[in-house]
Amino acid sequence: MNPHISLRSRRGLLPALLGLTAIAASLLTSPIQASQLVPQNLKQMIQASDLIVSGEVSQLTDGIAHGVPFTEVTLKVRSSLKQELAENSSYSFRQYGLLKTRKMSDGRYLLASKIEGMASWTVGEKVTAFLNKPALRTGLVTPVGLAQGKFTSSGSQLANSFNNRDLFKGMTVDPSVLNAREAAMLAKHGGAVEGGVLTNFVKRAVNEQWIAKGVMR
């Protein structure tokens, strides 16, 4: 506990944190347990996403709107699927939680908070994100499967924070639509993949409606 926080402020922390816990539980678009995320493979991410966007994180800010703490992520767009976003345009969305502890007007402190498994963001990183629809009540957005649906570039490689573990588990794709590099990628059980191969695969799957047509299951 910060020694500079007043006794009054300390007493105010518990109800504030309990309130945040209740808010957090209501914000998630899919249920998770305290210590385990529901696994999401690539087919499920494609199917559930409202927007698939690639770009660079250009800005991070935080704040509180209608009593809900948020971090606003702004991307400089490189490409997008399921929605049309102009190349080099800015796209922003808000995710639950604060970047840093914030002092409230009544003297209480609202601690930086993060739901277990939530994606984290860094200015300058290049990402591909599979984003859910904004929550109806709050407008907040999460990647599909939380951190599972956010992929970060390292050179030519793409991986999520789970090192793509089981990214292709349980999904099948008609071999006739695959090239050799895509087939090799789908055979992997984990580890970074070539970004160009993954993004082109996802683009084809969306544009050619592989899921609806049963090509991808």
Q: Report how far apart the first and last C-alpha atoms of the chain are (Å, whole number).
A: 50
pTM of the model: 0.82
* CA–CA dist 145, 32 (Å, integer): 9
Instruction: Please choose, from the candidates 168, 146, 148, the residue with its C-alpha nearest in 3D space to the C-alpha of residue 160.
Output: 148
User: What is d(CA 142, CA 30) in angstroms, rounded to the nearest whole number?
Assistant: 10
- Could you give the count of Cα atoms lying within 13 Å of 94 in the half-sphere of its Cβ? 18
Query: Contacts by 86-92 with C-beta closer than 8 Å and gap 24+?
Result: 90/58, 91/53, 91/55, 92/59
pLDDT (tens, 9 = 90+) of the chain, 217 residues, equals 443 433 333 444 434 443 444 444 444 433 333 336 899 999 999 999 999 999 999 999 999 998 899 999 999 999 999 999 999 999 999 999 999 887 777 888 777 766 789 999 999 999 999 999 999 999 999 999 999 999 999 999 999 999 999 999 999 999 999 999 999 999 999 999 999 999 999 999 999 999 999 999 9
